[in-house]
Structure 1
Amino acid sequence: MQSQPDFSAFSGIRAITLDLDDTLWPIWPTIERAERVLLQWLHTHAPATAQALQTAEAVRAVRNEIGSLRPDLAHDLNGLRRESIRLALTRAGDDHTLAEAAFEAFFAERQRVELFEDVLPALEFLAARWPIVALSNGTADVHVVGLGKFFHASVSAHRVGFAKPDARIFDLAAKAAGVPAHSVLHIGDDAMLDVKAAMDAGMLAVWVNRSGVEWPHEGATPHATVASLAQLCEGLSTKA
């Protein structure tokens, strides 16, 4: 059972950095739906490739091979997906130039997210008080998903070439907000990539622990742990 969060450290925050996937929406239902759309597209335009990618294991094998062949794409999930499709098309004897159109079918569906119910009220609350910078290892675009009005800026691993937990991406996000790292509160669901990494980068950090699991790391613990963004906003309302 989670203890009552302590918000006493947050009186001096001047900006928010905010994770996206699994903090604002569940990511795996989104990815699974986008992969189904991709497969349907391939059935229509490249049936031999669709047949070769019928199973999750086949998709994973191609993805892993591209990961080995193209280490330069390690932090570019769009690039990995696009080149995986290209490799699958080539091997199946389909037109490899279809990779771009196939990827666009996947990517359009990947931007259709279903927000957790507490997200819109939380974004309204946070954006009225602090500049918010989206900080993500994923490929969602806050403007495309319809949340752009809440965000001051966006920093994504596939654009900058390094990913959380690298301290450089947190530093870029603080600079995008125009404040020093120690004045930033990072909010995210991943104990390592979001919370521990943000603290290591000199930020304050809140762990959004919707499932109520135990903190997995020894040493420093989150400045606060919340079960929802609603609980976070309720606590921050006394510090704003």
Structure 2
Amino acid sequence: MPVSIISLDLDNTLWHAEPTLIAAEKAMLGWLQDFSPDVLVRARERGWSHYRKQTLAENPELVHRVSELRLKALQLLMLDCGLSQDASKQAAQGAFDCFWSARQNVSLFPETRTVLDQLKREFSLISITNGNADVEHIGLNDYFIYSLRAEEIGIGKPDPAIFQHALAQINAQPESCIHVGDHIIDDIQGAAEFGIKTIWFNWQNQSQNVDVQPDRIITELRELPQAIASLAD
């Protein structure tokens, strides 16, 4: 079966995620400082991870619903600071909205749009991410016929079910798809287990510490069209 679908991870595949996430966290903390210095002090005293871990322990079903997890953790922080239920929900939403807006302010790799333009001329593109980046707000929506965030279905990579779900939405078979991503387990192992060909974008020179073998490995995004061409026949 000829390849007609290219599936793409987002964070650390089309842009470097860490600077964006750091900036988004900083923006959220700035919002908390403006809202109430006491809330920020409490968050720093106990550690933001404390509220996230407690929320996840009480709501394990949120492990792949990262936006809802953050929102509930923020509500827990507000309650811990003595706010009422209603006030906690309102404040948590404000802090989350600040984070989410900054989280969409990504800096694409220099080759991203050029590569997407080239691929779109030959293939149908979809995106699959475990994060809460939104291709519409980022300005990439026109490239994709379908985009899936793990939090929408509560299933995340490397579970093959997320790849199965995505392809089912566009009536495609795994044999017609190539998945591209930076994470050897989440992207490469997960897709391979569902029978999808894989290209590992190893731009961070990670060690290959699992048995799964990518079909192709690239270290620069500009190499992607040629790697796809070598697999698509």
Fold shared, TM-score > 0.5 on shorter chain: yes
Q: 1:235 to 1:167 in 2, by over 3 A?
A: closer
Aligned partners of 2:41, 2:82: CA distance in 1, in Å? 12
Aligned partners of 1:21, 1:124: CA distance in 2, in Å? 19
Displacement after TM superposition at 1:237 (Å): 4.8
- Helix, strand or coil at the partner of 1:42: helix
| Kept after mapping to 1: 8 A contact 2:128/2:149 | yes
Superimposed CA distance per residue, residues 146-188 of structure 1 (whole angstroms, 9 cap, x where no aligned partner): 1111011111110011111111110112123332011100000
Aligned partners of 2:130, 2:14: CA distance in 1, in Å? 14
| Kept after mapping to 1: 8 A contact 2:216/2:227 | no
Is 1:80 the counterpart of 2:69? The answer is yes
1:231 corresponds to which of 223, 227, 231? 223
Give the stretch that moved more between structures: 207-216 or 192-201: 207-216
Instruction: Give 1 or 2: higher helix fraction.
Output: 2
Partner of 2:209: 216
Percent same amino acid at aligned positions?
28
Is 1:69 the counterpart of 2:58? The answer is yes
Aligned partners of 1:70, 1:213: CA distance in 2, in Å? 32
Give unpaired runs (5+ residues) of structure 2: none
Equivalent positions of 1:1-240 (< 5 A) are 12-54=2-44, 58-94=47-83, 95-96=87-88, 97-218=90-211, 220-237=212-229
Displacement after TM superposition at 1:214 (Å): 3.2
Aligned partners of 2:28, 2:6: CA distance in 1, in Å? 35
Aligned partners of 1:214, 1:152: CA distance in 2, in Å? 33
| Kept after mapping to 2: 8 A contact 1:15/1:184 | yes
| Kept after mapping to 2: 8 A contact 1:132/1:177 | no
Displacement after TM superposition at 1:93 (Å): 2.0
- Helix, strand or coil at the partner of 1:80: helix
Superimposed CA distance per residue, residues 169-228 of structure 1 (whole angstroms, 9 cap, x where no aligned partner): 10112123332011100000000000011011110000000022332112x410000012
TM-score (norm. length: structure 1)? 0.90
Displacement after TM superposition at 1:137 (Å): 0.6
TM-score (norm. length: structure 2)? 0.92
- Number of aligned residue pairs: 228
CA RMSD of aligned residues (A): 1.7
- Helix, strand or coil at the partner of 1:236: helix
